[in-house]
Amino acid sequence: MTLFRNAVRHAWRMIAALVIAVLLVVGVDRFYGHSSIAFAAAIVLLLIANAPMLRFNCPQCGKNAFFRGILVVLWPNRICTRCGYDLDK
């Protein structure tokens, strides 16, 4: 599987992790009241789920597929913005 396809799969997993984190916080808030522990658990869940993002780097120049300049975005680049390498081949 190509680097781009793997990065897209990671983006979908992150969307699912975000939904689970929101449901965790809403569920705890609904049944037990406001809890900082639920927010902390959601943050830890999102940090752990997003750690593999740092592996999706261009094989030629090493630029991460999720970075646009200094910003990190939800969807990966299909073509490297630094060297022009096609990440989908």
pLDDT tens digits along 22-64:
999 999 999 999 889 999 999 999 999 999 999 999 999 999 9
**Residue 63 resides in a domain:** no
Report the number of distinct structural domains present in the chain. Answer: 1
Place of tokens 């599987």: 1
**Residue 70 resides in a domain:** no
Distance between CA 37 and CA 68 in Å, rounded? 33
**Residue 74 resides in a domain:** no
pTM of model > 0.95: no
Rounded percentage of the chain residues whose pLDDT exceeds 90: 88
Domain range enclosing 50: 3-55
Q: Report helix angle 36-50 to 3-32, nearest 10.
A: 170
pLDDT tens digits along 71-88:
999 999 999 989 999 999
Q: Considering only CA atoms, which of 85, 81, 62 is closest in space to residue 73?
A: 81
Distance between CA 79 and CA 89 in Å, rounded? 10
